[in-house]
Amino acid sequence: MLNARQRYGAESESLAARLLRRRGYVILATNYRTPLGEIDIIAREADCLVFIEVKARRSGHFGDPKWAVTPRKQRTLSMVALCYLKATNQTRAKARFDVVSIRSAVEPPQVEIIRNAFDLLYG
């Protein structure tokens, strides 16, 4: 059973996936987990694999959700993305990282897709 925070996260990821589909993304996986971490959504847009982190906030108290994708989080996402590419034999695939920022303090929620939000980080 999910607690309120987990439910909010799941609802936010579902909202992001619906919006991404409407924008032409094909969802390949959600909540892709490895021992290193998790990627919220893996999708394909045209000829590019897209690793997507969803960040949502109910208020502006802690700032814009997109700023929660810190360099440390970027490194984790990069390592998990490399695991996915290796596991699916796509190490030469064109890929990028997007962030979906959801601010639900207002109705309707404000959703921003930041394409190519950061470069691959590792080490």
pLDDT tens digits, 8-56? 888 889 999 999 999 999 999 999 999 999 999 999 999 999 999 999 8
d(CA 36, CA 85): 14
pLDDT of residue 121: 74
pLDDT of residue 20: 97
CB-CB contact of 16 with 30 (8 Å) = no
d(CA 36, CA 80): 6
pLDDT of residue 123: 53
Per-residue CA distances from 116 to 52, 69, 107 (Å):
10, 13, 27
| Domain housing 12 | 4-118
pLDDT of residue 21: 97
d(CA 62, CA 58): 10
pLDDT tens digits along 54-107:
998 876 666 677 878 999 999 999 999 999 999 999 999 999 999 999 988 677
Q: Which amino acid is at 15?
A: L
| pTM score of the predicted model | 0.91
Beta bridge partners of 9: none
pLDDT of residue 2: 72
Report the domain count for the chain: 1
Cβ-Cβ contacts under 8 Å for 101 (sequence gap 6 or more): 55, 56, 64, 65, 66, 111, 112, 114
CATH number, position 8 = 3.40.1350.10
Q: Is residue 123 part of a domain?
A: no
Q: Give the single-character DSSP code of 66.
A: G
pLDDT of residue 59: 65
pLDDT of residue 120: 87
